């Protein structure tokens, strides 16, 4: 079982690894940009269902949607190419890489499976459109930053929980932002 960071939450990189394993089983190639959205959707669904965060840490509003900075850094070297490795932790005493244990909680595994099966085949552009939905958590933080202070463009869990239901996207349309290759924080 993966080490729990706060009540009910896991290292985002361990959940990302679980998602990548599931995507491999489904024959889905996942880029870092797409992985960030899948991780965010799983986190949001868990918050809505149980009021418990799936991952520790936080998401930030970046140009192409919500991003978990620690998970992003773990896979940054892939750029826009599909991820072909798993994230590793670092032993705090030796500094050596260590394996991140994959969560084995049945409800977490099923949630990850459902998210990968439901959203994993969407293009990165479609995932960006979905994450940018009007009044969604990302949209709220970006809009707030225009007129108020949004520290680090963080998207607090309470905002995700309250606004997650705004995520929706029209079927069949081309992505509004095209097909972005990589994400960047807002300047």
Mean pLDDT along residues 166-186? 65
Mean pLDDT along residues 15-27? 98
| Residue 79 per-residue DSSP state | T
pLDDT by residue (tens digit) across 56-114?
Answer: 999 999 999 999 999 999 999 999 999 999 999 988 888 899 999 889 999 999 999 99
Q: What is the rounded end-to-end Cα distance, in angstroms, of the chain?
A: 38
User: By C-alpha distance, which of 107, 102, 118, 104 is closest to 20?
Assistant: 102
- Output the pTM of the full model: 0.86
Which residue ranges make up each domain of the chain?
12-166
Give the long-range contacts of residues 147-151, CB within 8 A, separation 24 or more: 150/61
Residue 170 pLDDT greater than 90, yes or no: no
| Residue 52 per-residue DSSP state | S
More confident residue, 155 or 184: 155
The first and second tokens of residue 156, run together, are 């607090």
């Amino acid at each position: 079982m993966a080490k729990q960071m706060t009540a009910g939450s896991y290292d985002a990189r361990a959940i990302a690894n679980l998602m990548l394993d599931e995507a491999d089983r489904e024959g889905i190639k996942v880029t870092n940009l797409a992985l960030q959205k899948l991780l965010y959707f799983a986190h949001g669904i868990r918050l809505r269902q149980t009021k418990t965060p799936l991952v520790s840490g936080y998401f930030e509003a970046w140009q192409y949607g919500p991003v978990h900075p620690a998970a992003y850094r773990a896979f940054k070297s892939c750029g826009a190419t599909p991820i072909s490795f798993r994230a590793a932790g670092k032993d705090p005493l030796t500094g050596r890489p260590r394996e991140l244990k994959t969560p084995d909680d049945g409800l977490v595994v099923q949630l990850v499976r459902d998210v990968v099966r439901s959203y994993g085949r969407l293009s990165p552009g479609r995932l960006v459109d979905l994450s940018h939905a009007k009044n969604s958590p990302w949209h709220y933080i970006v809009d707030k930053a225009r007129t108020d202070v949004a520290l680090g463009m963080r998207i607090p869990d309470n905002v995700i929980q309250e606004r997650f239901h705004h995520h929706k996207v029209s079927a069949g349309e081309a992505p509004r932002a095209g097909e972005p290759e990589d994400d960047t924080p807002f300047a």
